Amino acid sequence: MKLIPYPVMNTLRKSDSMAVVKKIPSRLCIGCQQQKPKRELVRIVRSPEGEFSIDLTGKKPGRGAYICNSPECLQKAVKARRLEQSFKSAIDKAVYEALKQELAGEA
Protein backbone atom coordinates (compact mmCIF):
# COMPACT_ATOMS: atom_id res chain seq x y z
CA MET A 1 0.00 0.00 0.00
CA LYS A 2 1.35 3.32 -1.07
CA LEU A 3 0.90 6.32 1.22
CA ILE A 4 -0.10 9.59 -0.33
CA PRO A 5 1.34 12.55 1.52
CA TYR A 6 -1.21 15.00 2.89
CA PRO A 7 -1.03 18.20 0.84
CA VAL A 8 0.47 21.05 2.75
CA MET A 9 -1.52 24.22 2.18
CA ASN A 10 -0.12 27.63 2.70
CA THR A 11 -2.16 29.76 5.03
CA LEU A 12 -3.50 32.81 3.28
CA ARG A 13 -3.34 36.14 4.95
CA LYS A 14 -5.62 39.07 4.23
CA SER A 15 -2.81 40.77 2.37
CA ASP A 16 -2.26 37.72 0.15
CA SER A 17 -4.33 36.83 -2.89
CA MET A 18 -7.59 36.32 -0.98
CA ALA A 19 -9.69 39.47 -0.69
CA VAL A 20 -11.90 40.04 2.32
CA VAL A 21 -15.49 40.72 1.31
CA LYS A 22 -17.49 42.83 3.74
CA LYS A 23 -21.16 42.16 4.11
CA ILE A 24 -23.27 45.24 3.42
CA PRO A 25 -26.36 45.27 5.65
CA SER A 26 -29.60 45.79 3.77
CA ARG A 27 -33.01 46.84 5.04
CA LEU A 28 -36.52 46.89 3.60
CA CYS A 29 -38.07 50.27 2.84
CA ILE A 30 -41.57 50.29 4.31
CA GLY A 31 -42.76 52.64 1.56
CA CYS A 32 -41.66 51.00 -1.70
CA GLN A 33 -40.98 47.54 -0.18
CA GLN A 34 -37.51 47.26 -1.79
CA GLN A 35 -34.32 45.96 -0.19
CA LYS A 36 -31.66 48.66 -0.17
CA PRO A 37 -28.34 49.17 1.60
CA LYS A 38 -28.83 50.44 5.14
CA ARG A 39 -26.79 53.60 4.48
CA GLU A 40 -29.21 54.73 1.74
CA LEU A 41 -32.25 54.61 4.02
CA VAL A 42 -33.51 56.84 6.81
CA ARG A 43 -34.49 55.30 10.14
CA ILE A 44 -37.69 56.37 11.88
CA VAL A 45 -37.53 55.60 15.61
CA ARG A 46 -40.12 55.26 18.34
CA SER A 47 -38.30 55.91 21.60
CA PRO A 48 -39.16 54.00 24.79
CA GLU A 49 -41.10 57.12 25.87
CA GLY A 50 -43.28 56.86 22.74
CA GLU A 51 -41.84 59.82 20.81
CA PHE A 52 -41.17 59.52 17.08
CA SER A 53 -38.11 61.00 15.38
CA ILE A 54 -35.81 60.57 12.40
CA ASP A 55 -32.49 58.89 13.20
CA LEU A 56 -29.79 59.65 10.65
CA THR A 57 -27.04 57.91 12.64
CA GLY A 58 -28.86 54.61 13.22
CA LYS A 59 -27.78 54.62 16.86
CA LYS A 60 -30.82 55.95 18.75
CA PRO A 61 -32.45 53.50 21.13
CA GLY A 62 -35.94 52.27 20.36
CA ARG A 63 -37.86 50.42 17.71
CA GLY A 64 -36.97 51.49 14.19
CA ALA A 65 -38.36 51.31 10.68
CA TYR A 66 -36.48 52.19 7.51
CA ILE A 67 -37.72 54.35 4.65
CA CYS A 68 -36.20 55.90 1.53
CA ASN A 69 -35.25 59.56 1.72
CA SER A 70 -38.21 60.63 -0.42
CA PRO A 71 -41.65 62.03 0.38
CA GLU A 72 -43.24 59.55 -2.05
CA CYS A 73 -42.13 56.56 0.03
CA LEU A 74 -43.42 58.19 3.19
CA GLN A 75 -46.76 58.84 1.48
CA LYS A 76 -47.00 55.18 0.42
CA ALA A 77 -46.18 54.05 3.97
CA VAL A 78 -48.84 56.36 5.42
CA LYS A 79 -51.48 55.25 2.91
CA ALA A 80 -50.87 51.54 3.59
CA ARG A 81 -50.54 52.15 7.38
CA ARG A 82 -47.15 50.44 7.37
CA LEU A 83 -45.69 52.67 10.08
CA GLU A 84 -48.51 51.69 12.43
CA GLN A 85 -47.94 48.01 11.60
CA SER A 86 -44.21 48.31 12.12
CA PHE A 87 -44.48 50.11 15.46
CA LYS A 88 -47.54 48.12 16.59
CA SER A 89 -49.28 51.26 17.81
CA ALA A 90 -51.52 54.06 16.56
CA ILE A 91 -49.73 57.13 15.22
CA ASP A 92 -51.15 60.65 15.44
CA LYS A 93 -51.46 62.79 12.28
CA ALA A 94 -49.21 65.41 13.87
CA VAL A 95 -46.39 62.85 13.90
CA TYR A 96 -46.86 62.22 10.15
CA GLU A 97 -46.72 65.96 9.48
CA ALA A 98 -43.54 66.33 11.54
CA LEU A 99 -41.93 63.42 9.68
CA LYS A 100 -42.87 65.00 6.33
CA GLN A 101 -41.28 68.27 7.41
CA GLU A 102 -38.09 66.55 8.56
CA LEU A 103 -37.81 64.49 5.35
CA ALA A 104 -38.40 67.59 3.23
CA GLY A 105 -35.61 69.33 5.16
CA GLU A 106 -33.22 66.40 4.64
CA ALA A 107 -33.86 65.97 0.91
Q: For 48-107, what is the HEC assignment?
A: CCCCEEEECCCCCCCEEEEEECCHHHHHHHHHCCHHHHHHCCCCCHHHHHHHHHHHHHHC
pLDDT > 90 in the chain, percent: 47
- State which H helix or E strand residue 37 sits in: strand 35-37
Q: Tens of pLDDT along 14-52?
A: 555 667 888 999 999 999 999 999 999 999 999 999 898
Q: pTM of the predicted model, to two decimals? A: 0.75
Residue 21 lies in a domain: no
- The structural domain count of the chain equals 1
- State which H helix or E strand residue 41 sits in: strand 41-46
Range of the domain at 52: 26-106
CATH number at residue 88: 3.30.1230.10
Q: Which SS3 state, helix, strand or coil, does residue 23 take?
A: coil
Q: What is the mean pLDDT of residues 49-57?
A: 88
Residue 3 lies in a domain: no
Backbone angles phi, psi at 106, to 5 degrees: -80, -30
Residue 92 lies in a domain: yes
Residue 59 lies in a domain: yes
Query: Does the pLDDT at position 10 exceed 60?
Result: no
Residue 64 lies in a domain: yes
Residue 20 lies in a domain: no
